[in-house]
Amino acid sequence: MAPNGKLKLALYWAASCGGCEIAIVELREKILIVDQVADILFWPVAIDAKYKDVEAMPDKHIDVCLFNGAIRTSENEHLAHLLRQKSKVLVAFGSCAHEGCIPGLGNLFDRQSIFERVYLEAPSVDNPQKILPQTTTQVPEGEIHIPKFYNTVKTLGQVEDVDYFLPGCPPQPHQIWAVIEAILAGNLPPKGSVVGANEKTVCDECKHKREEKRIKKFYRIHEIIPDTTQCLFDQGIICAGPATRGGCGALCPQVNMPCRGCYGPAPHQIDQGAALLSAVSSVVDADTEEEAARIVGEIADPIGTFYRFSLPSSLLHRVRLNEGGKVA
Amino acid sequence: MSDKTFEPHIVGFLCNWCTYTAADTAGVSRMEQPPNVDIIRLMCTGRIEPAFILKAFAEGADGVIVSGCHPPGDCHYNSGNFKTFRRMPLLERLLEQYGIEKGRFHWGWISGAEAPKWAQLTRDFTEQVRGLGPLDWKRQLESKED
Amino acid sequence: MSMVTLTIDGQTIQAEEGQTILEVCRRNSISIPTLCYHPVLEPFGACRLCTVEIAQGGRNGLQTACTYPVSDGLVVNTSSPAVIEARRMILGLLLSRCPNVPVIQDLALEYGIKEPPFPTDKPEEDCILCGLCVRACHELVKAGAINFADRGVDRVIGPPFLEKTRDCIGCGACTIVCPTGAIQIVLEKEAIYKEKPLGPTSAIYVPSLQAVPRVPVIDTDTCIRFRQQDRTSGEIEDACGACQIVCEAGAIDFTQKDEIIELDVGTVVVATGFEMWDATKLSQYSYGKSPNIITGLEFERLSNAAGITGGQIVLADGRKPERVAIIHCIGSRDHNAHEYCSRICCMYSLKQAHLVKDKTGAEVYEFYMDMRAFGKGYEEFYERVQEEGVTMIRGRGAEVDVLENGKLRVKGEDANLGRLVTADVDMVVLSTAIQAPQDAGKIASLFGLGRTPDGFFAEAHPKLRPVETNTDGVFLAGTAQGPKDVPDTVAHAGAAASMALALLSKGEVTISPATAIVDEKLCSGCKTCIALCPYTAISFLDDKNVAYVNEVLCKGCGTCVAACPAQAITARHFTEEQIIAQIEGLFRVPDFLKAEGVPA
């Protein structure tokens, strides 16, 4: 706590989309309360503090750091270590920091193939000299260094010691507020806990009516118009809700879109995608090997479907690399 | 390049009533088997979570075997193996997408009376995985970014 | 009811007022012949055969006993000379009208009439216009399809305009009451022996001689009362009811309804038995094309002493067969039907061959594949039957053709002689397969039973647990588990009963601790697990919105544990932590080996 009794707060964005920043703003009038009770020392999107300001702070100067975004580059990692050093409590804020989220899908590829796609192959690219980013480049003014783009995306927890995890893509405002209140009241659970989310999976919050499951055919969401009162999974649409931590209020199923799994793994899972895969295939209505293989064969892109948000935090972390660091 | 031949480390998830019994019989009957297969016993292949196979590969397995009672009628628990044959084809595709070749994962059925079939499987599968080389998944997890 | 006193044949008799002389005579065992009387129909006085003499107290002279009410002081003679004379005249006239009707011939003979006294130009006439059929149709059945038509010598019984009428419901009441057999039910198809019983029965019948309790039942599909109610949407509510009228105990109650009784039980014994396989499915045996091609079960009915032939082995036309063929394995051991052996047929076919030989002396040809005489005394019986002269032909009977003269041509192979054989016989008995009943699947789902590939219910272990099933507390008895004969069934059922009783008498059940348990703090009620359990051990608690595993039913297979997307179910003794620890342990190299460079 600062001498003025205010909480010293820092927020940082690593490899992310900015949605977690918007989520803070979504606190709406409550942001004024945040302003009352906290001093925001570092928040790149909103205030003009610099890295050197953070480096100048004493260790553990920051009370709470809300760190969102995955670790994609060396800069992300550097700040992860720096902010850990300077913070009492480091919170992995949002799904990217928690389980990898959408940037994590980069783990289906490697640096080289991503660069080639982005800088050479993409239809709207105009790069006749075929220039790819380098960590070091000579320019008339001298040498320029840019952060290294890692081969593999990592979660915050995979590079640093994290105190709390607040999942969501983005975390829901009411959940963020609940965590802030808990921090202010000094009422936090044991270190390493997931906060701002439920113990049960999304199904517990979902209003659709569920029945015993027997799936004869899988549909993608654009292939059928689902019954809006019945469980989407019952109707053959792969909904990650049963395998995803709840707390969001089942927002997506409420508008008849299947849950995508953004709040990440449920408490006891060791691998979110594998748990969902097991559930989805177990209830296939097939009593012969041929029929079973045929029905599950209809699922396009298993890894993208089951690991959309959690690939870096899965057991295998990423697609295999060969000796040269390339996807095999 | 080491002068030692690569010895694959294979994990087998076997159901208690059928394949584990066959493996037991194969051992007691002194059937020739390579030492490369480590067995984890479960009551039924229906207990096998796909996560176990992923964990085995993540820990360093070069190959994984899943084997249980023949469907449709042999499962000691009636239909546990039905769930297995619904899950395994999807897991196979997932493993391929992860870059783990099909030849590293074998799933099938061996009854308690088929001990020779188990012994043959351990011999054949070990050679098959040897030919694919080490998977060494931990290497890519532990490697520092250069 | 007030009583009257009257005298019949010199006897003083007390009777209820309102009864007729005939009813009183019947009550008191005084015999009066009748033709047109039936206890449940209004008396008609058509045949005049019940004529008696009123000596005093009423309209003196000859009256019909069936219509004349008793009164105080009435004096009646039932066999005075005048009565006998009158009856003789009546019977003479009846016999002249219907000279070839056996019941009239017999009655006429009793009164000394051997020949019809008058000629007739319609000697085939068999209707005596007694009106019983009409009264049955109008009063009892309330269909009103037939009545008297025309007058004088042209008077006949028939439907309106003597044309086929839809008012006739084919109940057959008219044929049952007709004293001369003049009115017949004509079936569109030739009557074929049914599995049980051979030949038609009335709508109220005792199901079998061994029925428990041994009381009649009413088949509401054929009973006229129920059919009229259905047919007329209840307008005719009380058609027939003849059974209720004659039942002296008043035991018949048409208003009985099905009662659904719910019982809480601790154990169940499934003893649902078997069905006969349908022999028409293999058309080469021509089952259904001749009444003399019957199944083994139909032969049992035929040969039963309480059956319609009194145990005589006869052909459909009543003649004794001279040559009989018995063909084994019809529908058994056959990739086109059932692959399994039905176990009981070899022995019962030998028994049937023995019965045919014994009762008719006919030549018997037994076409068999293998003779399965596996039990105590069975092989000895087989030898005995051979010694009795039954011809054993080792080779599957291939075809049965119905010849124009009605004989049956059986073609087969005699493998021992190495040639094809043909036998023309009078009767063929097909030893058909026995199979699981059609609704076995429903019973199986009800109790969570498995079924073996042959369709019968699955025992828990083919060698060591023949009466138990995969569901604790549910036992199998008899052929529900597979084909077996009576001694084996008795042993099997005894075992099932003992195990069921043992379970109940213990008062508690011991279960393995390796069961699944749902953590209600983690279960979100997705219902993925519910339908997966082979033992239906998982139910859903609506009030808590969680799944629940019944630990007594759970066998610990772990399928639900693996399927749970939230990992909310734990498999005791095979927990995720334990298995993960095993996997990790396989790849952990102890430090002292690491030092030696041993890889993981």
CATH for B58 = 3.40.50.960
Examine residue A322 and state whether it is found in any structural domain, yes or no: no
Instruction: State which residue of chain C sits closest to B46, comparing Cα positions.
Output: C559
The yes-or-no verdict on residue C561 having pLDDT over 50 is yes
Task: Kindly report, residue by residue over C223-244, the tens digit of the pLDDT.
Answer: 888 888 887 887 878 888 888 9
Q: Find out whether A133 and A149 touch, Cβ atoms under 8 Å.
A: yes
**Residues C203, C277 within the same domain:** no
Task: Kindly report, residue by residue over C65-101, the tens digit of the pLDDT.
Answer: 999 999 999 999 999 999 999 999 999 999 999 999 9
**Residues A172, A75 within the same domain:** yes
Question: Collapsing DSSP states into helix, strand and coil, what is residue C444?
Answer: helix
C542 — phi, psi (to 5°)? -65, -35
Instruction: State which residue of chain C sits closest to B12, comparing Cα positions.
Output: C583
State residue B143's pLDDT score. Answer: 65
State residue C599's pLDDT score. Answer: 64
* Cα C215 to Cα C209: distance, rounded to the nearest angstrom: 10
The yes-or-no verdict on residue C164 having pLDDT over 80 is no
**Residues C313, C408 within the same domain:** yes
Examine residue B1 and state whether it is found in any structural domain, yes or no: no
State residue C219's pLDDT score. Answer: 85
* Cα C459 to Cα A68: distance, rounded to the nearest angstrom: 59
State residue C314's pLDDT score. Answer: 93
Q: CB contact, 8 Å: C531 with chain B?
A: no
Task: Kindly report, residue by residue over C301-321, the tens digit of the pLDDT.
Answer: 899 887 778 889 999 888 999
Task: Kindly report, residue by residue over A260-305, the tens digit of the pLDDT.
Answer: 999 999 998 999 999 999 999 999 999 999 999 999 999 999 999 9
Q: Measured in whole angstroms, how far is the alpha carbon of residue A22 from the centre of its chain? A: 15
Question: Would you call A210 and C568 a contact, using CB atoms and an 8 Å cutoff?
Answer: no
**Residues C290, C194 within the same domain:** no
**Residues C506, C577 within the same domain:** no
Question: Would you call C526 and A211 a contact, using CB atoms and an 8 Å cutoff?
Answer: no
Q: Looking at the partner chain, which of A302, A316, A325 has a beta carbon nearest the beta carbon of B54?
A: A316
Task: Kindly report, residue by residue over C338-389, the tens digit of the pLDDT.
Answer: 999 999 999 999 999 999 999 999 999 999 999 999 999 999 999 999 999 9
Instruction: State which residue of chain A sits closest to B48, comparing Cα positions.
Output: A278
**Residues A236, A179 within the same domain:** no
CA dihedral C70, C74, C80, C81 (to 10 degrees): -100
Neighbours of chain A (3+ CB pairs under 8 A): B, C
CB-based burial label for C482 (10 Å; 0-12, 13-18, 19+): buried
Q: Find out whether C21 and C76 touch, Cβ atoms under 8 Å.
A: yes
Question: Would you call B59 and C587 a contact, using CB atoms and an 8 Å cutoff?
Answer: yes
Last-in-domain residue among C480, C510, C540 = C510
**Residues A138, A30 within the same domain:** no
Q: Which two tokens stand for residue A162?
A: 């994290």
Question: Would you call B145 and A270 a contact, using CB atoms and an 8 Å cutoff?
Answer: no
Examine residue C124 and state whether it is found in any structural domain, yes or no: no
The closest alpha carbon to B48, from B116, B111, B107, B2, belongs to B107
Total domains present in chain A:
3
Using a CB-CB cut-off of 8 Å, the residues of chain B touching C453 are 73
Examine residue C117 and state whether it is found in any structural domain, yes or no: no
Domain span holding position B117: 8-136
Best of C583, C588, C593, C594 to substitute, by most chain B Cβ atoms within 10 angstroms, is C583
Domain span holding position A48: 7-102+152-184
The yes-or-no verdict on residue C57 having pLDDT over 90 is no
Examine residue C395 and state whether it is found in any structural domain, yes or no: yes
Return mean pLDDT, chain B: 91
Size of interface A-B (CB pairs under 8 A): 98
Q: Looking at the partner chain, which of C524, C531, C562 has a beta carbon nearest the beta carbon of A204?
A: C524
Question: Would you call C532 and B83 a contact, using CB atoms and an 8 Å cutoff?
Answer: yes
Q: Whole-prediction pTM value?
A: 0.64
Q: CB contact, 8 Å: A263 with chain C?
A: no
Under DSSP, the state recorded for C140 is I
Q: Find out whether A158 and A84 touch, Cβ atoms under 8 Å.
A: no
Question: Would you call A271 and B57 a contact, using CB atoms and an 8 Å cutoff?
Answer: no
Examine residue B46 and state whether it is found in any structural domain, yes or no: yes
Total domains present in chain B:
1
Total domains present in chain C:
4
Q: CB contact, 8 Å: A274 with chain B?
A: yes
The closest alpha carbon to C33, from C140, C137, C106, C139, belongs to C106
**Residues C94, C139 within the same domain:** no
Q: Looking at the partner chain, which of B51, B98, B141 has a beta carbon nearest the beta carbon of A319?
A: B98
Question: Would you call A242 and C528 a contact, using CB atoms and an 8 Å cutoff?
Answer: yes
CATH for C43 = 3.10.20.740
Q: CB contact, 8 Å: A264 with chain C?
A: no
CATH for A33 = 3.40.50.700
Examine residue B142 and state whether it is found in any structural domain, yes or no: no
Question: Would you call A150 and B83 a contact, using CB atoms and an 8 Å cutoff?
Answer: no
Examine residue A321 and state whether it is found in any structural domain, yes or no: no
Domain span holding position C224: 131-253
Task: Kindly report, residue by residue over A66-96, the tens digit of the pLDDT.
Answer: 999 999 999 999 999 999 999 999 999 999 9
**Residues C420, C295 within the same domain:** yes
Examine residue A51 and state whether it is found in any structural domain, yes or no: yes
Using a CB-CB cut-off of 8 Å, the residues of chain A touching B54 are 271, 274, 314-316
**Residues A122, A88 within the same domain:** no
**Residues C279, C198 within the same domain:** no
The closest alpha carbon to C256, from C189, C204, C209, belongs to C204
CATH for C531 = 3.30.70.20
Neighbours of chain C (3+ CB pairs under 8 A): A, B
Q: Where are the beta strands (DSSP E) in C127-256?
A: 147-149, 156-158, 204-205, 217-218
**Residues A61, A26 within the same domain:** yes
Report the residue count for chain C: 600
**Residues A247, A136 within the same domain:** no
Q: Looking at the partner chain, which of C557, C584, C586 has a beta carbon nearest the beta carbon of B43?
A: C557
Last-in-domain residue among C461, C486, C510 = C510
**Residues C466, C494 within the same domain:** yes
Size of interface B-C (CB pairs under 8 A): 80
* Cα A63 to Cα A19: distance, rounded to the nearest angstrom: 23
Q: Looking at the partner chain, which of B52, B60, B77 has a beta carbon nearest the beta carbon of C587?
A: B60
Where residue C195 falls among pLDDT bands split at 50, 70, 90? very low
Using a CB-CB cut-off of 8 Å, the residues of chain C touching A268 are 519, 522, 566-568, 576
Report the residue count for chain B: 146
**Residues C484, C446 within the same domain:** yes
Q: Find out whether C227 and C170 touch, Cβ atoms under 8 Å.
A: no
Instruction: State which residue of chain B sits closest to A302, comparing Cα positions.
Output: B94
Highest mean pLDDT among B49-58, C135-144, C192-201: B49-58
* Cα C193 to Cα C298: distance, rounded to the nearest angstrom: 7
> Nearest CA of chain A to the CA of B89: how many Å?
6
Instruction: State which residue of chain A sits closest to B83, comparing Cα positions.
Output: A282
Q: Looking at the partner chain, which of C532, C562, C583 has a beta carbon nearest the beta carbon of B55?
A: C583
Q: CB contact, 8 Å: A204 with chain C?
A: yes
Examine residue A72 and state whether it is found in any structural domain, yes or no: yes
**Residues A92, A12 within the same domain:** yes
The yes-or-no verdict on residue C199 having pLDDT over 70 is no
The yes-or-no verdict on residue C210 having pLDDT over 90 is no
Examine residue C155 and state whether it is found in any structural domain, yes or no: yes
